[in-house]
Amino acid sequence: MENRNKYLLLARRAREEDNSEDAKRYYDMVRTEDPDNAEAKFFYSYYRLMDGTVGEAGSKYDAMCKGVNTTISLILESDASDEEKKALVLAILAHLEKARIAIVNNAPGSASVNIQEIKKSIFAKYIEAFGEDNDIMFEVYRFKKDFESRSMKEKYEFGDEIESKFASVPQIMALALDLWKKCVAEQQTYYNTREAIECKGMAEKYAEKIKKYDPTYVMPKKAGCISFG
């Protein structure tokens, strides 16, 4: 038990320092000491996936994702402090996202698991256990921003929704700003399309809004050789 705690501490430190080699080694040691340790199971499979070849990435990713729900349940049921549990769940969410990006960039189409459903279930479990705190709401809104497809107008309105609830939380507000910036840039590039015409005048309005939060922001000019504005 003493060894397990020592290795777990070292593994967490290595993970926080982005030292994947040491983190993998220490999590493996934790697994040897305590084969049922949920944290070690997840992070070991994560580092195994990141170290592995492209050919087997899809199957490793699927295996890792399938075990996540159990891992989260075990973490929430453990006797660790609430702060520790929260940090661990958020770390798992962050690493799931890193793994997803790695798969999309290096082995697209190789994974079959539905990551969206898994993430939704993690959010639900976290909110049920700890309520809607800013950390999880940031993850929830980031998920909604990245995965739910919207028209240009809906994207502006989604940003408004974030602003109405979390204007005083810079971390979450950054999501709305990012979304608005992307929309304004999109509208200035595709201004002759039906979607952009439906949002006429919104680019200027939202550019002003962005400037309130980010005074250094400069609205992009309309694309094209002769754009008349």
Partner 1 sequence: MRINTRKKFEKEIDFFSDEFQQEQKRLETYIKQRPLPRPKTTKSVVITWVLIYLLVAFLLAATVIYLFKITKIQWLCYLVSYIVCALFFSKTICIKAIECYQHYAKEETRRKCVCVPSCSEYSIAVLKKYHIFKALRKIRIRLLNTCGGYGYVHDEP
In whole angstroms, the minimum distance from the beta carbon of 147 to partner 1 comes to 12
Q: Closest CB to partner 1 among 82 and 154?
A: 154
Residue type, 124: A
User: Per-residue string for binding with partner 1, 175-194, x by CB under 8 A?
Assistant: --------------xxxxxx
Q: Closest CB to partner 1 among 94 and 104?
A: 104
Q: How many residues bind partner 1 (CB under 8 A)?
A: 18
Render the burial of 1-30: b for 16+ CB within 10 Å, e for the rest: eeebeebbebbbebbeeeeeeebbbbbbbb
Answer whether 213's CB lies under 8 Å from 173's CB.
yes
Q: Closest CB to partner 1 among 218 and 225?
A: 225
Answer whether 167's CB lies under 8 Å from 176's CB.
no
- Helix/strand/coil for 113: coil
User: Per-residue string for binding with partner 1, 100-129, x by CB under 8 A?
Assistant: ------------------------------
CA distance 214 to 209: 9
Q: Closest CB to partner 1 among 111 and 122?
A: 111
Element (H, E) at 47: helix 38-51
Residue 116 vs residues 100, 121, 192: alpha-carbon distances, Å: 11, 9, 33
User: Per-residue string for binding with partner 1, 131-170, x by CB under 8 A?
Assistant: ------------------x-xx------------------
What are the phi and psi torsion angles at 206 (to 5°)? -75, -30
Give the chain's length: 229
In whole angstroms, the minimum distance from the beta carbon of 206 to partner 1 comes to 18
Task: Report if residue 224 touches partner 1, rule: CB under 8 A.
Answer: yes
Task: Report if residue 195 touches partner 1, rule: CB under 8 A.
Answer: yes
In whole angstroms, the minimum distance from the beta carbon of 179 to partner 1 comes to 14
In whole angstroms, the minimum distance from the beta carbon of 211 to partner 1 comes to 23
CA distance 26 to 8: 7
The site for partner 1 (CB under 8 A) is made up of 149, 151-152, 189-196, 221-227
